[in-house]
Amino acid sequence: MTFTTNTTITTNQTIATGETWTVNIGVVLTISPTVSVTIDNGGFIDNSGTVYNSGLINNSGFIYSYQGTINNNSGATIVNNAYGLTINSGTITNSGTISNSGTINNNSGAITNSGTITNSGTINFGTINNSGTVHNSGLINNPSVIINSSIIDNTHTGTINNSVIYNNPSGIINNSGTINSGNSNIMGIIYNTGTISNSGTIDNYGTVNNSNGTINNSGIIEYGTINNNSGTLSNSGTIELVAIINTSGTIHNFGNIHYPTIINSGRFDNSGYINYGILSNSGTIINNSTGIISPYTMDNGPTGTINNSGSIINYPSGNINNSGALNNIATINNSGTINNNLSGTINNAGMINNYKGTINNLAILSNTGTINNRCATYSGNPPSGNQLNVISCVTTISGTVFTDDNGNGVQNDGELGISNRTIILVDSNGNRLPDKTTDANGSYSFIGISVGQFLVQTSPVPTNHFPSTGFNSYARPMTVSGLSTIVNFPMTPITSENSATVNGTVFEDTNNDNVQDMGEVGLSGVQVFVVDFLTLTQTTILTDANGIYNATGILPDAVLVQAAPIPAGHLPHTTTYSYQTLSQGSTTTVNFALKPINSSEHGTILIDVFDDANLNGIKDIGEVGVPNATVFTYELLTAKVDLQVTNSTGITTHSGLIPDVVVAQINAYTLPPGFSSITTANEGFEYVLVIPNGTTTVQIGLH
């Protein structure tokens, strides 16, 4: 259907799939009140004229307005459904309601709203001029300009990507979603003379100009430049990574401002945290009782005033340059440099802690409070009023090793110190300082150390004690920053209630399955020892007639349990030792399965001692054996020794050895007469892995 003359729609209509309504240039199509026009999916309105809607346009199809005009009158509604697409290169004027869950491509067109626009879909491009209400929970994407004189609500799911926003004096923008002003390629601009309330995120890739306007931020504002010209910026959220905050207005900060450059010629009230940036002041900065300012650089110009009733922290690389008035009734902690220039005045009624920092005073420093100068430099005019408090730069680590009878970590009355304990101190470079030993009261101290990171420990722990719960005798990392650092070592005595027990059986594992089966007997008289790593105490016990051992009173910590030596003629199923971590009052069972070795598994070592006439460490043809040399083999697992003296050919035979590592050695202290040195590379000592039913020869040369 083509409209070539002005037409009024007075009855409900449906534009079906495949059907098109065409409104020609200069033609007016009017939709009467209470009348609805429904555009089905695949239906189409092609407008080059004017569409006046006083009823309802329900679009699931396609509306194309090329240099045309769509007027949505008061009380009228345009619904652009999820499948609906509206392309506007002309003008959409809304004083009614537009509800969009589809797509509106505004291209080079303009949307002028004095009614209500609710968007949960997408609105792309063009110009939006709002004097009504815009509710956005979808995407408003890259309009060239948004001009707001009323209300824009961008909900937590909403995103506005723009290049330019004008928020006029009567304009209110409430953002709990995301506003991207520009991007990494396009600089965005927000001109605010109204009110912007942000509890979401504003990513500013350009400039925010706040001129006589108000910005309330409880969310996040990032990047770019903020010019606060006679406006008000109230922050209870986070402003970070902003290149420049240039303010001649008022800033109230209750939140965090990170890494800024702040140029203030107005009033800056801080009750929050400002850190790691540059602060240049020619106006007034009031740092309230909860406020913390810790910039890299703070320049207070001749017309500037800084009133501090909170905390100013100047780190080692920081600079505070004062040419105006710096008034302190609270705390300034300085480890960097404070320059009070010729036109500057510092009035201190609080505390200035100058620790390893520098104060250069070329003007007036009036002190009715306290200035502590510790490990620091003060130069120039002395302060008037109270004098400088120079504090010794000697730093100590000290503490007490004590018996913590009740295990609460505190030295109570009657809990005595433990003397003669070694205290170890290691710096951050791994250098071990000279050890200290606790005195009769269990006390120790390292005096005159530098500040920094250290590891402090006492080792070993006193016998029959273990570190109290929550403490550690091993290397405890400590940061030394003040004059005195306390590191105590409370030690709880071992009792029957908190000690641990280790028990088990040493048995002959005939079938080598690591399980004591019926008929497999325990081995008596085998030595089992338990070593705790805190006190280095060894508890040794022998197995009874059934091969059972029971070690009590063991410190509840990491321990080594080992059966050694094992009975001759046996090999362990796995190992003869086990590492265990014991808890207080626990019982841990560790069994040792030992396999008997039959004669076919035994091996032999021949020791051949020869006269190495040419000193080359090799038995050459013609070099004869050396008789009467004392040699022996030693089984490491069983401690079995086979001591022999070489025969006339210089050879001994050591048979019946278990197939494991065995030491073959000559008695180097009593060499045969006429010989004084060993020439072979093994120096008369060699570890040999015995081969089952095999023979290994060890040659030892003498000269």
Q: Are residues 581 and 615 in the same domain?
A: no
**How confident is the prediction for the chain on average, in pLDDT?**
93
Apex 543 CA angle, 542 and 547, nearest 5 = 165
Token readout for 167 is 């928020």
pLDDT on residue 87: 85
Judge contact between 292 and 314, C-beta under 8 A.
no
Residue 256 buriedness (CB in 10 A; 0-12 / 13-18 / 19+): middle
Q: Are residues 120 and 10 in the same domain?
A: yes
Flag whether 672 is in a domain: yes
* Separation between Cα atoms, residue 644 and residue 678, nearest integer Å: 18
Q: Are residues 655 and 539 in the same domain?
A: no
Apex 407 CA angle, 406 and 409, nearest 5 = 120
241 has a pLDDT exceeding 90: no
- If one counts the domains in the chain, the total is 4
For 405-422, the pLDDT digits (tens) are 999 999 999 999 999 999
Judge contact between 360 and 337, C-beta under 8 A.
yes
Flag whether 511 is in a domain: yes
DSSP notation for 377-442:
EEEESPPEESPPEEE----EEEEEEEE-TT-SSS--TT--B--S-EEEEEETTSPBPPPEE--TTS
481 has a pLDDT exceeding 70: no
Q: Are residues 485 and 550 in the same domain?
A: no
* Separation between Cα atoms, residue 50 and residue 67, nearest integer Å: 9
For 94-124, the pLDDT digits (tens) are 999 999 999 999 888 899 999 999 999 999 9
Judge contact between 155 and 177, C-beta under 8 A.
yes
pLDDT on residue 453: 84
For 50-63, the pLDDT digits (tens) are 999 998 999 998 99
Residue 584, SS3 per DSSP: coil
Flag whether 182 is in a domain: no
Q: Are residues 544 and 622 in the same domain?
A: no
Q: Are residues 546 and 613 in the same domain?
A: no
For 160-174, the pLDDT digits (tens) are 998 899 999 999 999
Domain boundary among 80, 105, 125: 125
Token readout for 588 is 């841990």
Domain boundary among 493, 524, 543: 493
pTM metric for this prediction: 0.61
Q: Are residues 592 and 604 in the same domain?
A: no
Q: Are residues 63 and 96 in the same domain?
A: yes
188 has a pLDDT exceeding 80: yes
In sequence order, which residues have a C-beta less than 8 Å from that of residue 474 and are 6 or more positions away? 457, 459
Flag whether 73 is in a domain: yes
pLDDT on residue 463: 86
480 has a pLDDT exceeding 80: no
For 328-363, the pLDDT digits (tens) are 999 999 999 999 999 999 999 999 999 889 999 999
**pLDDT class for 482, splitting at 50, 70, 90?**
low
Q: Which domain holds residue 18?
A: 1-125
394 has a pLDDT exceeding 90: no
Percent of the chain residues topping a pLDDT of 70 = 99
How far does CA 244 lie from the centroid of its chain? 29
**Residue whose C-alpha is closest to residue 345's, from 373, 323, 372, 371:** 323
Domain boundary among 93, 125, 157: 125
pLDDT on residue 398: 93
**pLDDT class for 474, splitting at 50, 70, 90?**
low
Range 278-287 average pLDDT: 96
For 285-321, the pLDDT digits (tens) are 999 999 999 989 999 999 999 999 999 999 989 999 9
187 has a pLDDT exceeding 90: no
Q: Are residues 471 and 407 in the same domain?
A: yes
Flag whether 464 is in a domain: yes
Flag whether 231 is in a domain: no
Q: Are residues 1 and 108 in the same domain?
A: yes
pLDDT on residue 484: 79
Token readout for 454 is 């250290």
State the chain's maximal CA–CA distance in angstroms.
Answer: 137
**pLDDT class for 536, splitting at 50, 70, 90?**
confident
* Separation between Cα atoms, residue 534 and residue 556, nearest integer Å: 10
Flag whether 367 is in a domain: no
* Separation between Cα atoms, residue 217 and residue 237, nearest integer Å: 6
pLDDT on residue 469: 82
Flag whether 483 is in a domain: yes
**pLDDT class for 375, splitting at 50, 70, 90?**
confident
CATH number of 607's domain: 2.60.40.10
* Separation between Cα atoms, residue 566 and residue 293, nearest integer Å: 70
Q: Are residues 582 and 536 in the same domain?
A: yes
Q: Are residues 569 and 671 in the same domain?
A: no
144 has a pLDDT exceeding 80: no
